[in-house]
Amino acid sequence: MITPVVLCRGSGTRLWPLSRKSFPKQFVPLINGKSLLQLTLERVRQLGPGLMVVAAEAHRFMVADALQTVPGSAQVILEPVARNTAAAMALAALLAEQNVQPEALLLFCPSDHHIPDAAAFARTVEQGVPAAEGDHGAVRRVDVGVVREVGVALALDAVALGVG
């Protein structure tokens, strides 16, 4: 079972003046009147019934509004203070183990990336499931192509690191 974890943090500096500290870019309606967070929630919702969102406590109302646009429920984890990505991932993993299923596969997704081909994204994730299930305790990163964010292009290679 895949449990998407949407990492919804940000300082609102890269898309200024549209975004700001109190209104980071993942909440700005940029594409067809929808925010990048809304598009991310729509994209990951098709992967399974479980959903977790890690967000800043200061953004809780905007996260709640975005969640109203997609069906189903979500577990929302609010951070009172930013502790960066690794801490958010660790907290989500601990809570998933306690509340969801210990064997769930967690798919960590940023809330501020635009991936226009949601079907290709879902296929790529599904193709990675057998590899992720193969070695218990392994960390996987799947190549989803080129990510473009405000003039920066990153191509990520697929890697598999055994940690167990």
Residue 15, domain CATH: 3.90.550.10
The secondary structure element, H or E, covering residue 10 is: none
Domain with 153 in it: 2-162
Question: Is residue 63 within 8 Å of residue 53, measured between CB atoms?
Answer: yes
Mean predicted confidence (pLDDT) in 52-66: 92
Higher pLDDT, 21 or 141: 21
Residues 65-82 have pLDDT tens digits of: 999 999 888 989 888 887
Structure letter (DSSP) for residue 98: H
pTM of the entire predicted model: 0.79
pLDDT confidence band for 150 (50 / 70 / 90) = very low
User: Nearest Cα to 122, choosing from 56, 50, 68, 43?
Assistant: 43
Query: What is the DSSP pairing of strand 52-56 with strand 75-79?
Result: parallel
Residue 25 confidence (pLDDT): 82
Q: Compute the distance between CA of residue 75 and CA of residue 70 in angstroms, rounded to an integer.
A: 13
Q: How many domains does the chain have?
A: 1
The highest-confidence range among 31-45, 69-83, 88-102, by mean pLDDT, is 31-45
Taking the alpha carbons at both ends of the chain, their separation in whole angstroms is 20
Nearest Cα residue to 109 out of 13, 15, 42 = 42
